[in-house]
């Protein structure tokens, strides 16, 4: 597991204090959707993952999801090189699951689209399991692993990743 701290991805500071979560029922899995370059998983392209995470933080903080978030909406972000980015981190309320659904589950994002790079590779799936284990160990996450679409009207996290979630979110 390769943890990328907020300092390492040059995160902006949150604009307000996080709301603390003592524990959750588990984790919800998300994808970026849209177009993610098909060659993102190639070994030399990891720098682009850092750009993507910064872009998502900028969009969330600029109000791209309807309101200005205090930070990136996700607790953790996983990339196809098996790196694990600290978003809001453990014990902090996320903003990605939908109104009323954020205190029950942490939010973990996979850098995966619905065009270009659309089928999760083994390193991405392992990074997701790393994130789930990290949030259990450091954030008192419970056993549930669900998709964003569970309880919320969205295609997220896309069919391939949702199938993996439904089959038990196991290591490949």
Binding site for Zn ion (CB under 5 A): 30, 46, 49, 79, 81, 148, 156
CB-nearer residue toward Zn ion: 156 or 169:
156
Residues 113, 117, 123: CA angle, nearest 5 degrees: 105
Residues 65, 46, 56: CA angle, nearest 5 degrees: 10
**Least Å from the CB of residue 29 to Zn ion:** 8
CB-nearer residue toward Zn ion: 81 or 92:
81
**Least Å from the CB of residue 158 to Zn ion:** 9
**Least Å from the CB of residue 104 to Zn ion:** 14
CB-nearer residue toward Zn ion: 30 or 146:
30
Q: What are phi and psi of 95, to 5 degrees?
A: -135, 25
d(CA 150, CA 72) in angstroms, rounded, equals 21
CB-nearer residue toward Zn ion: 95 or 156:
156
CB-nearer residue toward Zn ion: 2 or 137:
2
**Least Å from the CB of residue 20 to Zn ion:** 23
**Least Å from the CB of residue 37 to Zn ion:** 12
d(CA 157, CA 109) in angstroms, rounded, equals 9
């Amino acid at each position: 597991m390769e943890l990328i701290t907020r300092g390492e991805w040059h995160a902006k500071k949150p604009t307000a204090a996080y709301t603390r979560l003592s524990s959750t029922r588990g984790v919800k899995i998300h994808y970026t959707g849209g177009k993610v370059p098909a060659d993102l998983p190639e070994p030399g392209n990891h720098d682009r993952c850092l750009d993507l995470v910064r872009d998502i933080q900028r969009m969330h903080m600029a109000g791209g999801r309807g309101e200005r978030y205090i930070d990136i909406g996700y607790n953790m972000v996983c990339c196809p090189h098996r790196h694990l980015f600290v978003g809001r981190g453990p014990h902090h309320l996320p903003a990605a699951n939908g109104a009323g659904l954020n205190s029950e589950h942490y939010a973990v994002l996979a850098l995966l689209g619905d065009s270009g790079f659309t089928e999760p590779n083994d390193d991405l799936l392992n990074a997701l399991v790393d994130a789930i284990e990290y949030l259990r160990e450091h954030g008192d996450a419970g056993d549930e692993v669900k998709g964003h679409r569970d309880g919320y009207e969205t295609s997220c996290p896309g069919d391939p990743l949702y199938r993996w979630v439904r089959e038990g979110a196991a290591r490949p």
